[in-house]
Chain A
Amino acid sequence: MTKFHTPMGEDLGRDVLRIEDLRLTASQGARDLVKGVSLSVAPGRVLGLVGESGSGKTLTGLSCLGMLPQGIERTGGEVFVAGQPILDLAPNEQRRLRGSVVSMVLQDPLSGFHPMLTVGKQIFHALQDHGVGKESARARVLEVLGQARLPEPEKVSNRFPHQLSGGMRQRAMIALALANRPSLLIADEPTTALDPTVQAGVLRLLRQLADDGLGIVFVTHNLGVVAGLCDEVSVMEHGLIVESGDVAPVLENPQHPYSIELLSASPRLSSPHVLRAPLNAAQTNEPAAISVQGASQRYGTRGIFGRGAVVHALSDVSFEIPRGSTTSIVGESGSGKSTLTRLLVGLEKPTAGRVTVAGQDMTRLNPASERGFRRKVQLVFQDASRSLDPRNTAEELLLEALGVADRKASPSAVLELCDRVHLPRTILGLRTTHLSGGQRQRVAIARALAPNPEILVADEPVSALDVTNQQRIMGLFQELVGENNLTLIMVSHDLALVRDMTDTVITMYKGRLMEATPAEEFYRKPRNPYSQALLDAMPDPTRIGELPTATVPALPGRVG
């Protein structure tokens, strides 16, 4: 463990946060979760607390607010917030500090807001709780919403949390956190659930707040974000800080093996990697694996009086994907990429246009033709914990998948399948709820591979995983494509993640296709300004001190 905290004395009054040898234990089973963490944050500095799930980073963050969850006990150490040992204070003393001295922003702002009160009301209440008068509280609400760079603070103040977009909601959460002028902000993965371009905006806001003197602890697993935003970084593994220091030396020259592993697993756009050469589709006379011509998808909501609103989830999308290639469909939420995925695998039929997948006209898919189609086209779902039956063991799930194509599937075929996705055979008897996230996703991939499909569609297959697992699963996909002439469609919001394995990149925005470009060309210079914005917004661990930009060019949106 690297000694990090400043010596007692000169810096005592200066640091807004100082944690000294904090030890936390789960009282049930006496598991040590945090094993002696020390760190400090000075005003105006941003500390990145990096680690994977289970590293204890969230617990460390919570202890800064004096909010240890039930069943967690402190076995040693101190947490000083603005010089006060917050964990030793009485509950009402802690409450007084919370908000006015230390504040928190969470990953999901919706769970932090009361759903039945307007944003303005909640900030107002937070101010009143700390004894601010009615008139000045009212003024402060608008002031702080403006400070969070929310356009038209008055309007936002009268909105309910669910009426705001994800990015605006997170800004409103930051405004709520800032209401009582804290000097320390604990931000627990505040941008993980946001789209890249929205994330970039929130990161810039946090940087500006820090430059105005706020101390920030930024809990994250994304080293790219740390590189852009933070001044210092502490890497946590199994409840210990394994490496810490200024961002530049740690990220440029990590010393601890875990930091090195974490860094090498982080996707990046700037690495000098050989990109795959564009496939020459003209040479092969084969018909395309997937052909989409003018596909549109509208969702109508039936109003009480006649027709209600119509949502154009997809408008006039056309592209072709040659056999044996890997294509990435990239876009942010609302881009229509999920709708497109559902069309490609036949879960929905387009309202207009033609979609042909593996020779099957999708508008003519009927129960009889569906049987054959299912063997040729498979889908890997985003979240395996939701798409796999929690009551079945891995073996049962794989056997079932094999059984669809071949009723007499043998246990040896299960083992073979298991090896193909590098799943340890020992876990076959376990239920999926007892598997790790990465293992669970491997079971899902194995299931999709069971009927030996020609086309595999993967819908954000790694977005629920830690960075190191993300990389391993992406590696597996690469391997599978190489093995047999598999056509792979990778749906993602992360351009860095798919960079090294894709032949073609398709970008989508508001239901429209922005461009479909060979990867080599795309990553060098995309044709479309939105694609460029998306590339610019990707955090990258090698761009230290460089915050991603967030300017989304004005583009024609959806029609209707």
Chain B
Amino acid sequence: MKMRRLLMAAAIVLLAAFEAHGETLYVGNAFLTSVTPQCGKTAAVGDAYRAIYRPAGVNIGNGADSHFSLTSTRANVTMRVPNNSFQQNVNYVAQTVGSSVKIGSHAGGILGWTESGGGGGVNISVTTSLAKFFGVKSCTATIDVYLTRLPAS
């Protein structure tokens, strides 16, 4: 009996150690499906990015913050939701590196976030509407992205 408890404790410790070192990432192609005129040259319908989604979760190795990163061939915007998940009516903080190596940081609102397949699924589809996209005032972009989980490393 004592040995069984010991083995169970060891297994729990091993599992915790494994999870602490791993992280859970999803990757997918993100398309802009609508943008407001204020986006100007920064964003247009049909623009495509590689999305990396890192949902919050200590039990999946990702910690308390959620991250959503969009990279084109020459620019990046990475959004972070501190101590929360991406969802409607929550604000994000972000850093941008523009196509002319303009570097900036800003905060914006998540106006919509519809997610299916999350909570441990292999594939997650997301439709989201993000205010102040790429840090541009009054630029709201709607994004469709279908993400698939990367292998554990």
- Real complex partners, A and B? no
